[in-house]
Structure 1
Amino acid sequence: MSILITAANSASAYKLKNQLNSDNIIMGDHMDLPDFMLKPGKLIRLPDPKSVSYTHEMLTLCLDMGVEAIYLFRQTEIDLLLKAQILFNEYNIKILVEGNEL
C-alpha cells in the first residue's frame, strides 16, 4: 500500500516525505508540474479541487493506486476531503492534515 502526499511542488511536502522514510510514497499536485517531473513515476498530477467531482476523482485515484493514507497540505483539498472522510474511511483510506495553506 502507498501513501499520497499532496502539494508536491512544496518544500513542506518533501520534508514530510523524508520524515516518513518509506519507499511507497507517491507525491502529487494539482498545480502545474513540468513534464520531466511527472515521467519518473513517483510524481503524479492530481485532480483539480475546483472540479465538481473532485472528491470522487481523488477516491478513484487512491483506489487505483492502492493509497492507504493521504497527507493534505492545501486548505482547499483539506476542506473538500474532510467532508468526505466517512467515504474514504469505508475504503480504509486515512485523510491526514499536514500544515497550513501553502
Structure 2
Amino acid sequence: MSTTLTASFDTRREAEMTVERLVQQFGIERTDIFIATAGDENSAGVERAGSDTEAGSPSPEERDDSELEGRVTVSVDLEDEAVAGEVRSAFAEFDAAEVTES
C-alpha cells in the first residue's frame, strides 16, 4: 500500500535540504518527491534563508525581493512503509511542521 507523507517548512532552504537528504542518504527517487507552496502564491517560505538572504562578495547588497507568501511543502510518495520513519526523521532534522500522512 502506498503512503504519502507531507510536511511544511518555513524556508525554501529547509525544504531543499530535506529533499537532498531523502535522495542522497535514503535513496528515494526524485520523481517521488514533490515541492510546492502551501498556498496559491509563489513563495520562498515565511523567512529568508540561504540564497534569499543578503548576497556575498562581490555583491554585498542586501536582498529584499524574496517572495515570503507562505510555507513550502514537501510531499513524498512511498511504496515501502519501512522508509516512512526515515522520511519523518529527515523532516524533523530540518524543522518540518504540520507533518501529515495520506
Q: What TM-score results when the alignment is normalised by the length of structure 2?
A: 0.30
Higher relative contact order (CA 8 A, sep 6+): 2
Structure with greater proportional helix content: 1
